[in-house]
Chains A and B, each alone.
Chain A
């Protein structure tokens, strides 16, 4: 009995220690989420996905007016991204034109972590790794490991002093790197004027606004379908009715996320030609999975940076009311 109590105490103590260090780790990650937004810094990071590599020059400043960022692509076709808070304007050069695109920026490196880590904590386990030097800075490695195989895992290199994310790597279930973004050089900078917060203008190009894709809010009241049992941890973050290039009829577009990964579900009346093939189609290219199926006269398409099992589960979650 004495031994049993001692054993219980030991286990309790070790569990307590574990819990404390787990909290400490999540706190460090919380600091990282905030650091990317609240610090002012400039540097160059390299982005790698599939066979492509791009260098990006980033200038990020947090002032009393909010968060300002300018990202300039240094390789390939010129492309500049200017963001103020979550409003993002992209200057995308296409041949003789520069197309101005407006977006809602989210999870942009190094701010890949949301400031609210609750849903991430529910779906990922956090482990501490070695210390490593990245971009002339001392970094601590953290592994954000998928708890269930329904999402990819992340390896994060965090600046030991400032908490800024220096490198982020996306790993599939075989622990293979499928995407990597890492600073080559980075330095904090003084908060000052915003003279730099403007795009470099090429006077030889024409600047045009992107054709807006007509979208409308979808209340989902009169739909012939409903969504049952999503993969664990995923929730709906957006829903709209939009036009998709090459389609004559509008498509319902629903976005799901677990806080880190995003998946799109498209539902539309099936084309008569595709009706013949009732077999589901699946593909994985790099970090992106694709799933397509035709049921009850509707075509269901899923695209997202998630494992193929998640894409299939989301596709199969659509139930038609009969």
Chain B
């Protein structure tokens, strides 16, 4: 299942063939989580910035400000291509996409708050280096100017 989701994100599965996956996304919490995580991983690898912390609030404000259009198809009709594209995409897809988008935002917001709440605790698996060299400076040094084995052997680390 997770491979199929990954393939869907990478455009390796046609949207038309993904009805089953999209249904799963809507019904299974696990699948939806995988979907949002893969997107986050993809974003970070591509170097995209995360959505800002108050993205959801801003979006909701914008939506509130928008006038309610009672006949949306009529407004779309003007721009020919957008209209065609809109009709190619199954209705379930756009619903699933918006569900997923909200999931991602909710999931990220949740994690941001838990991270702040828990704070930082020194990791128990750190080696004895910490006793002689203050861990906070060693960590700052290795984070900014890593070299040699420091990429693989973590003499000091902080975990959440």
Contact = CB atoms under 8 A, between A and B. Distances in A.
A292 B137 CA distance: 11
A233 interface: no
Interface residues of B, number: 46
A38 B34 CA distance: 35
Interface string A77-114: 10101100001010000110101101101111100100
A73 B150 CA distance: 13
B73 interface: no
A54 B153 contact: yes
B144 A198 contact: no
Given A52-B127, A264-B140, A303-B137, A201 B41 contact: yes
Given A285-B133, A286-B129, A208 B111 contact: yes
A36 B135 CA distance: 32
Interface of B: 2, 6, 30, 34, 37-38, 40-41, 44-45, 47, 50, 111, 115, 120, 123, 125, 127-129, 132-141, 143-153, 155, 157-160
Given A47-B153, A112-B148, A288 B138 contact: yes
Interface SS of chain B: helix
Contact of A52 (B34, B50, B138, B153): B153
A206 interface: yes
A209 B147 CA distance: 22
B149 A48 contact: yes
A102 B146 CA distance: 12
Given A103-B146, A290-B132, A79 B137 contact: no
A253 B129 contact: no
Given A201-B41, A288-B129, A81 B151 contact: yes
Given A209-B44, A301-B134, A71 B129 contact: no
A201 B38 contact: yes
B100 to A, nearest CB: 15
B141 A303 contact: yes
A301 B137 contact: yes
Given A94-B159, A264-B145, A303-B137, A49 B41 contact: no
Contacts of B38: 201
A50 B127 contact: yes
A73 B149 CA distance: 12
A71 B149 CA distance: 12
Contacts of B47: 87
A246 interface: yes
B137 A264 contact: yes
Interface residues of A, number: 71
Nearest to B38: A201
B152 A73 contact: yes
Contact of A49 (B144, B153, B157): B153
A228 interface: no
A81 B146 CA distance: 13
A288 B151 contact: no
Contact of B140 (A179, A253, A261): A253
A303 B44 contact: no
Contacts of B132: 283, 285, 290
A190 interface: no
5 contacts: A50-B155, A51-B127, A71-B152, A257-B145, A283-B132
